[in-house]
Structure formats: C-alpha cells, structure tokens
Amino acid sequence: MQHKERRGGPPSIVEVARAAGVSTATAGRVLGGYGHAGAASRAKVEEAAQRLGYRPNGLARSLIHGSTQTVGVVVTDVGNSFFASAVRALTDVVRAAGYEILLANTDSDPAAEQRALQIMWEKRVDGLVLAPQGPGTAERLRPMAEAGLPTVLLDRPLAALPHVDQVTINNTACARSAVGHLTRLGHRRIAVVSEAARDLDRLRDARVKDGDDERPSAARLVGHLAALRRAGIEPDPELVVHSPYDRHAAERSVRRLLRRNPEVTALFCTDNVLSSGAVAALQDSGRSCPGDISLVGFDDQDWTTLVRPRLTVVRQPRRELGTAAGRRLLERMAERERHAGQESAQGAGSGAAAGERIVLRGRLITRESTGPAPGTARTPSA
Amino acid sequence: MQHKERRGGPPSIVEVARAAGVSTATAGRVLGGYGHAGAASRAKVEEAAQRLGYRPNGLARSLIHGSTQTVGVVVTDVGNSFFASAVRALTDVVRAAGYEILLANTDSDPAAEQRALQIMWEKRVDGLVLAPQGPGTAERLRPMAEAGLPTVLLDRPLAALPHVDQVTINNTACARSAVGHLTRLGHRRIAVVSEAARDLDRLRDARVKDGDDERPSAARLVGHLAALRRAGIEPDPELVVHSPYDRHAAERSVRRLLRRNPEVTALFCTDNVLSSGAVAALQDSGRSCPGDISLVGFDDQDWTTLVRPRLTVVRQPRRELGTAAGRRLLERMAERERHAGQESAQGAGSGAAAGERIVLRGRLITRESTGPAPGTARTPSA
DNA sequence: CGTCCGACTGAGAACCTTCTCAGTCGCGCC
DNA sequence: GGCGCGACTGAGAAGGTTCTCAGTCGGACG
C-alpha cells in the first residue's frame, strides 16, 4: 500500500500524518512546533516528514495567521546603484527579523506603481516600503495606509500623507551647501544639470523645505537656487539645463551648455548618472578642471575618487536610508502586531498618530574638482 | 445594521457577498472573473466591493491554484552592480508575464543560501533563479529540482545538476582573450588579481572549460593561466595575487604586488570591484599606464571610460544574463503548467530531459590602458 | 477503589477563494 | 400547455495549515 499522493505537488501534512499513523492535528503540532506532542508521536511524525520530504506550506500558514512574513519594496529601479544599495541594506534589516522581500520596479511610471501596489496588497505583504513616483502616489497609497498596512516612504517625502513614516535625505540643504561652496570660491556663473529643470518656474519662488512633497531632483534644484540667492546671484534660466535620467543625454546637455555659455565657471550635478555624463562632457571639452571650471557631483560613488581630478561630491547615506526605512517598518509592524485584535476594525494603524519623518543628512566632500573661480583675487563673499 | 467585520483585516469575499445580497459563489464569479454572472448581480457585487474596498486575497487564490505567480531570486548581493543589473533585467522579463520577484541575498554564505532556498520553497514560488554559492549548492538544490520546481542557475554553472538550466558567461574564454591581448602586446610578466588565487594549485592543471562547475573568478583565473601557457609563459605564483572581494583590500594587494614585483608590466583584474581597487593602486604608484604597466579590467562599468587612461575591459552582458535566465524560467514554468496533471507524480520536471546550458559571450573592449610592453621592439608572438 | 488531574490525542472549524454540482427560473418550441 | 434548454445562482467541498474543544488514558492521591 504505497501512500497514494493525490497530486504531483509536494506532500501535505495529512499525507505525513497518514504515513505516521497519527492525526493531522498531532502532525501539525510536531511539525509546526506548537502545543505538546508525545515523544513517540514526535518520532514517528518526524521520520515520516523526513522520508516524504515534507515542507510546510507557507501559503496556508499565512492564510491562517494573517501574516506573510514578507514586505513589499517598490522602487524606481534596482538597477540604479542608489536603490540597489538602499534595497540591500533594507533587506538585511528586515531579513534579520524574519521577513522576506517582494520587489517591484516602477521606472517612475505611475501606472506601474499602481499595479505594483495592487499586487503587494493582494499578496498581503505585512509591510510596504515605497519610493513614491510622480503624481498621484498619495491617492494610490492612501487606501492601503488607511487600512492599516504599515508603510514607510523612501527617498521622496509626501506631505499629503502625514500619518505615514517617511525616510528621506536633506536634499535641499545638501544642494545649498554644494552650491554655497561654489559661491564662496567666487563663482558667479554657476550652471546646474537637473532632471527637474523643466519645473524651474514653479520652483523658483517656492520655499520648499526638506521633507516637503518634492522629488529629490526638484529639492536639490531648490537648494541650488537658494544658494545662489543667498550669494546675491540672480538665477539665470539659461544655466539651468534639463537632462533626462541618462548618462549620454546628460553628456550632450552639458556639451551644449558649454558651447552656448562659455562663461560658465562652475557646474552642479543633481545626481549620480548626471554627474558621470558631466564628467565625460567636461573631459571632452578641453577645459581644465578645476582651473577653468569647477564641478560638484552628487552621490559618492567609488569612481568619483578614480577620475582626475577627484570629484567634489555630496555624499548621500544610501545604505543608511535603507536601514532606517527597514527599522522603522519593523517597529510599525511590531506595533500593529501588538494592537491586533484589541483595537476595533477602523483605522487600526491610521489613527491620529503622526508618521515619523526621518531626514538623514548628506554631506559635502570637498576634493579636487572645485577651485577658485578663474581670475578671482577678490575675497570670497561671506 | 453595519456589516460587522469580524477582524480588523480587509474585507473578504463573504462580506462583499453579504453586502450585495448574493452568495459567495456569485460574488466570486464577478470578482474573480470566471464563470457567468447576471448583470444585476454583477452590478450589486461590484458596487459592494467598491464600497468596502475589497481586494482579493492572493494567498487563498494561490492555495487553490497551486501557483503564486512569484519567482524566487537568490543572488550574492543586489547591492553589487552586476547582480543589480541582472536582477533588474530578470524582473522585467518575468513581470511582463505576470510574475513577481521574491529576492534574497546570500553574501556567498552557504547557510544563508540554504535558508533562502527553504523559504522560497515554503512560500511556494513558481520558479527559482539562483546564483549558486559555494560548496554544497547542488545538494541543497537537488530536492527542489527533483520535486519539479522550475529552476535556472545564474552566473555560475553546476555540473552536478545536469537537468537544471544554466545561464552563464564564457568566463574562461573572456579571460583568455584578455590575457592573450596582453601577451600579444609582448608582456611576459603578467599579474592577476583574483578572489580565487588561493585555489591556484588546484586550477593550475585543470582543464576547466566554460560551463563547468566553477565560480566565475576561478574560471577567469583558469583562462588567465591558459593564455599564459599558450604564449609559452610559465605562470608564476608570485604574480597571482589574492584579494577578498573589496575595493580597498584589492588596492592594498596590488600595491604590495607592485612593491614586491616591480618587473610586472601588465595586470589583469577578474572583476569590477577588484578592477577599481587596482586602478586606485596604480594611480597611486606613480607608474604610467599604459607606458609602464598595462591594465585589463573586468565588467564594463560606466566609470571605465571616465578614468584616464580609459580602461581596456572585458564587457559582460549583465542585463542579457538576467533576461536569458528569465526567459528560460518562463519557458520551464509554461512547460510545467502544460504537463501538470497528465504526468504522474514522480519527476514531473526532473525527467531525463537535459537542462539547457546558455553561455553568453563577453568580449574584450580595447581602450587605452593597454599598450606594448615597455622595451619591446621584437615582434609579438603569434 | 474512586476520583481527579495532567499529558496527550483527534475531530473539526476556520482562514479565503475557486469550482463542481445541483437546482431554480424563464422562455421558446412543439 | 408541457417539455427542454439555457442562463443564472447557491450550497458546499477543496486546498493545507492552525487551533479550539472535547475526549482518552494512565497515574496519583484521598
């Protein structure tokens, strides 16, 4: 009498129980590690499980427990080293607490974000880390947040969701400090390469503070403008060059900039891929750096110390970003666990409790790609 | 009479059905999109679902269908740009077919790999992509492969699992071509930086072909040795320097090498982080490149054209690796789907059918960091 | 010797959805 | 008008686990 396995699938606990000659309840107790089980049953069940190659079915378990031990992570692109680092750090933190990662990329496409959120919701993740993507994220996320799903926002704040934890970087201040460094060196014609250049008019007079509802690139552009203003420089739209998020496009944009505005003596790049394009364009331009032109990049990648001159950059704590998000999420999930059942249905996690806003600090690392503006002997302002 | 929601959790289909005044069967038909449902019921159910914010529970659905629409991805480190790119490409491919990604990192720790595999198994992923990690992977993976779980190996082949699809890069040939390039330039004292240097004795006489059971770093070292032999150069253990997988460690190793063996005129690095360490060490050494010493790196990262001289590198098709793995996995899963039920329990997917071995080709990109060996006027050999 | 207690076990509900099977109802056709 | 058929609906099992509740059994104590 061979144990007839009903389907091709892996053996279930009832097959193990039958093989061991006990009830499924007892088999469950042994294999699930709950309740008591006698030594004799235990041995029989363990032997049978071993023999049949039994693995518990996490789906069934999750269905009952209402917990999948999985967190959803939705980012723009794991292929980007910024998110790759953050996700890696995040994974380590939550994994130590027994959670796995369900990963989705959106490529900044709101529709893709919507799909990703739906799926995370259907798969019943226990928590969610999201790098918001463009217009409408708050509305897309609200139902989930209000249903009490522990959620942490990453990299980009969302003022419209005050109850949701948010972990970001002080982008505006970073940019201000980077550009401030340039103005102090006497530069007046300072260009910026930014994905957000198109929004210049809107951002121009905005008093965007760190932690407000802006994409990092926009926040950095705001910081750039603020630094110029502080130095008494009127921002020139000509020097705010747009580039899509692509190295070669950035290279072309910078090349065009240098051709049209040869008087520029300094350049600020608002992120890593734009920085690398700018370096390429600069090398190609025949200008000496920092002799003719100074350059500040964003994100302290390994290669920034390998090029000559070594790049002055804003270092962002990418790993810490992931770590902080993971920790915050674990706390929220633990809270929810604690309050489970004792709270009534409504708003278990969306109560009046304000979400925490963690703003990590990037910092300027001065290296060799920035120097005094050409022909400046006058004392730097401020 | 407010619908009493039993638990804090999201509404289930029975709540929707009750609210709509129909049976769960009908509600299921409407919301699940199977079977027929009358227009009147349909409207009532949809309204109720909308009002209650119903989302189907993927766990229950998966439990019934026996499919989670999820694939497990186990790599060394998503933070590493190589895997970041591959995983990104992989995600795109499988996502287009409706699969999500469950991600785990192992850091080359066999125990972590074991844990990851267990969890993937318990969570009942529909397929698995694994970058094998060190000793014992075949044994860890075998039970799952034999249970018919579609599996694709990534980046590192495993001869012990002939039935499993494997997608790799022709590392040995790549290394041979890189080092052959150096010997043709007249170099005789060629050093190599490798994670696998410790295994030199074992690899020395090995006739490892691409697609054999070796870590990429070992395969590349074998290619290095083969190229030397072909040029009639006896490999010198002094010039095979070990470095852990860390940029700064690599930098130290190379610095020490140059100090002890100043006669070295060429250096081959077996992967991206080692390459970046070597560049740093070289810049620091005061030697001119390629005048005094030539350098070949591995993996064509963006920065390799930003440093001076531009690096000669072996380009690996990282994204294609992920794409190919994803496609292969999709095919396997489709096959399994097709055969489901008609095949008997045993070995549904582990039959005699040999796994496919896809070997993608990297290629040498000659740039400026390699030149003729100093003082060679004689004609290059071969 | 009877009773009670503890250790252990088994039956069965619950989790949420899918899907089979049987049943109801209206309508068209003979 | 009766019958058959099709469209639709509902009851209930299944999927694999957890967990409650009730029950059995041996032993200890009065």
Domain assignment present for B153: yes
B307 pLDDT band, cuts 50/70/90, is very high
Domain assignment present for B138: yes
Together in a domain, A151 and A229: no
Together in a domain, B297 and B338: no
Phi, then psi, of B245 in degrees rounded to 5: -80, 75
Q: What pLDDT does A382 receive?
A: 42
Q: What is the mean pLDDT of chain A?
A: 90
pLDDT (average), residues A90-114: 96
A33 pLDDT band, cuts 50/70/90, is confident
SS3 A166: strand
Q: Is the minimum distance from the CB of B64 to strand D below 7 Å?
A: yes
Report the protein residue whose CA lies nearest the C1' of nucleotide C10.
A23
Together in a domain, A186 and A136: no
pLDDT (average), residues B240-251: 95
For position A348, which CATH number holds?
A: 3.40.50.2300
Residues of A in contact with B302 (CB under 8 A): 247, 273, 276, 303
Q: What is the pLDDT of residues A5-28, one digit of tens each?
A: 445 678 999 999 999 999 999 999
Chain B, nearest residue to A5 by Cα? B345
Q: What pLDDT does A10 receive?
A: 86
Q: What is the pLDDT of residues A203-217, one digit of tens each?
A: 887 666 666 778 899
For position B24, which CATH number holds?
A: 1.10.260.40
Together in a domain, A39 and A120: no
Q: The tokens 């190793």 sit on which residue?
A: B253
Domain assignment present for B32: yes
Q: What pLDDT does B381 receive?
A: 46
A125 vs A69: CA distance, rounded Å? 7
DSSP letter string, B65-117: HT--SEEEEEES-TTSHHHHHHHHHHHHHHHHTT-EEEEEE-TT-HHHHHHHH
Together in a domain, A86 and A153: yes
Q: What pLDDT does B204 receive?
A: 81
Chain A, nearest residue to B50 by Cα? A143
Together in a domain, A51 and A128: no
Q: What is the pLDDT of residues B314-353, one digit of tens each?
A: 999 999 999 999 999 999 999 988 876 554 444 444 444 7
Q: What percent of chain A has pLDDT over 70?
A: 91
B64: the nucleotide nearest its CA (via C1') is D15
Measure B51 CA to D9 C1' (Å). Answer: 23
Q: What is the pLDDT of residues B19-36, one digit of tens each?
A: 999 999 999 999 998 888
Sign of CA dihedral B323, B326, B330, B332: positive
Domain assignment present for B104: yes
Instruction: Give yes or no for residue B156 having a pLDDT over 80.
Output: yes
Domain assignment present for A381: no
Nearest CA to B68 out of B151, B116, B127, B113 is that of B127
Q: What pLDDT does B207 receive?
A: 67
Q: What pLDDT does A202 receive?
A: 84
Compute the count of residue pairs across chains A and B with CB atoms less than 8 Å apart.
168
**Prior bond of B10 cis (ω within 30°):** no
More reliable by pLDDT, A340 or A253: A253
Q: State whether B102 and A104 contact (CB < 8 Å).
A: no
pLDDT (average), residues B92-117: 96
Together in a domain, A105 and A140: yes
Residue B214: exposure state from Cβ atoms within 10 A (0-12, 13-18, ≥19): buried
Domain assignment present for A369: no
Out of A56, A78, A123, the one facing B87 most closely (by C-beta) is A78
B61: the nucleotide nearest its CA (via C1') is C17
Domain count, chain A: 3
Together in a domain, B213 and B349: no
Q: How far is CA B260 from the centre of its chain?
A: 36
Q: What pLDDT does B208 receive?
A: 63
Domain assignment present for B367: no
More reliable by pLDDT, A138 or A378: A138
Together in a domain, A59 and A72: no
Q: What pLDDT does A201 receive?
A: 86
Residues of B in contact with A92 (CB under 8 A): 105
Q: What is the pLDDT of residues A115-174, one digit of tens each?
A: 999 999 999 999 999 999 878 999 999 999 988 999 999 999 999 999 999 999 999 999
Q: Give me the sheet containing A294-298, strands edge to edge.
A: A240-242, A190-194, A266-269, A294-298, A312-315, A363-365
Last residue of a domain, one of A316, A339, A372: A316
Instruction: Give yes or no for residue A350 having a pLDDT over 50.
Output: no
Last residue of a domain, one of B30, B64, B98: B64
pLDDT (average), residues B309-316: 97
Together in a domain, B327 and B305: no
Give the number of C-alpha atoms closer than 13 A to the C-alpha of residue A151, restricted to the C-beta side: 30
Domain assignment present for B378: no
A294 vs B209: CA distance, rounded Å? 50
Chain B, window 72-131: residues with a beta carbon less than 8 angstroms from a chain A beta carbon: 77-81, 84-85, 87-89, 91-92, 95, 100-105, 118-119, 121-124
B380 vs B230: CA distance, rounded Å? 13
Neighbours of B5 (CB within 10 A): 15
B8 pLDDT band, cuts 50/70/90, is low
Q: What pLDDT does B202 receive?
A: 85
Q: Is the minimum distance from the CB of B380 to strand D below 7 Å?
A: no
DSSP code at position A105: E
B255 vs B252: CA distance, rounded Å? 5
Q: State whether A56 and B123 contact (CB < 8 Å).
A: no
Q: What pLDDT does A377 receive?
A: 55
Strand C: protein residues, Cβ closer than 7 A: A 22-26, 28-29, 35-41, 60, 63-64, 66; B 6-7, 9, 12-14, 24-25, 28-29, 31-32, 34-35, 54, 56-57, 60-61, 63-65
Q: How far off is chain A from B85, nearest CA to CA, in Å?
A: 5
Phi, then psi, of B3 in degrees rounded to 5: -60, 110
pLDDT (average), residues A197-205: 85
Q: State whether A77 and B88 contact (CB < 8 Å).
A: yes
A242 pLDDT band, cuts 50/70/90, is very high
Q: How far off is chain B from A344, nearest CA to CA, in Å?
A: 7
Q: Choosing among B73, B78, B346, which should be mutated to test the A contact, i.e. which has the most A CBs within 10 A?
A: B78
Together in a domain, B265 and B322: no
Q: Is the minimum distance from the CB of B45 to strand D below 7 Å?
A: no
What is the radius of gyration, based on Cα positions, of chain B?
27
Together in a domain, A264 and A346: no
More reliable by pLDDT, B118 or A213: B118
A238 pLDDT band, cuts 50/70/90, is very high
Chain B, nearest residue to A51 by Cα? B143
Residue B86's domain comprises 67-161+318-359
Return positions of chain D under 7 A from a protein CB.
7-12, 14-20
